[in-house]
Amino acid sequence: MAKRRNPQPVDLPTERLEIVHRLVVFAEGRDPADVTVERFTEETGINNRRIYRHFKSWLDLREEAGLPRRVAGRRQYSDDELMIEYYSLTLKLRRLPTFAEINQHARMSDNPFRNRFGSMDTIQRKFRKWLKTARKDLNEMEMHGEAAPDDGGARLVFQRWSALKPGFALKSSEYRTGERIDRHHIDFLVVMDHDWPGCPWPVVLLGNVWRGQVASEDDESTRQG
């Protein structure tokens, strides 16, 4: 029987420096809005596990690479939006999702969750509290005779979603070029033509709406770049 070879130990300081160097090269000459963890991992092959082995967050890695921690105008998610997304994944997976599953299935990476809440224990504690508040909101709506969807999952987050603000344009790229003065005050886009792959907001195509189809959250056109 052949002897199993032990895996070679990882040289952590060298790997850390390599990741920083790769980010510096990756960011050179790019639109700052395109320097995202999703693009970086996709194009370099450096996965999230390797990043978080050395850095507490994507923001910490950006800082070490000499980049600003945050990009002006970059999409900032509210607590409600993050909790709605976490709830959506809970329904889809039929259990509480992990960071890896957020990265795989959500419309945003796990970074907004990590940066806002820190550990998964904190996320789940906040989620349970948010869930109780959402149920209370729905009970109050029913007492006042307000209409709410019949589906259990949709009903639970109806009031939260109803507070989100859409942005309208012919092309999604209009928000990239700053032609829209309300670009920092919207939650999703409704457009005729989605021509911005790195769009930080969910996108609804009018053509799909007219056909009675709204793109699912798994659709590539609705995911962040």
Closest residue by Cα to residue 196 from 218, 225, 168: 225
pLDDT tens-digit map of 135-152: 665 555 444 444 444 444
- pLDDT range class, residue 171, cuts 50, 70, 90: confident
| H helix or E strand, kind and range, residue 204 | strand 203-205
Q: Is pLDDT of 99 > 70?
A: yes
pLDDT tens-digit map of 16-30: 999 999 999 999 988
Q: What is the pTM of this model?
A: 0.41
Sign of the C-alpha dihedral computed for residues 112, 114, 120 and 125 taken in this order: negative
Closest residue by Cα to residue 167 from 185, 149, 143, 150: 185
